[in-house]
Amino acid sequence: MVKYSTHNRAGKLQYRQNHIHGNPYLRLLRHEVEALVRDKGGQDGLRKKKLQKELADINKEARKLKTRLKAIERRRAELMQELDK
């Protein structure tokens, strides 16, 4: 396990290097990343990004539900047609 160390470029981020299936990645501390984003883009920039992410998630879920509803309605129509015979 690699100890946390100060990010050498920004000087504000700590990270831990990990590997999954041979692929390296960095684990960052959320509050430090948010503080860096807030410093660079302001509080409104961070808030706007969070709102955009939430909206994207809701839109994605709505598309999935619409697709599921269409499949259910199609099956319902098939069953009703089958009952009418």
Average pLDDT over residues 39-58: 87
Listed in order, strand segments (DSSP E) in 1-85 are: 5-6, 14-20, 23-28
Sheet holding 23-28, edge to edge: 5-6, 14-20, 23-28
pTM (global) more than 0.95: no
Query: Residue 80: pLDDT above 50?
Result: yes
Mean pLDDT within 36-55: 84
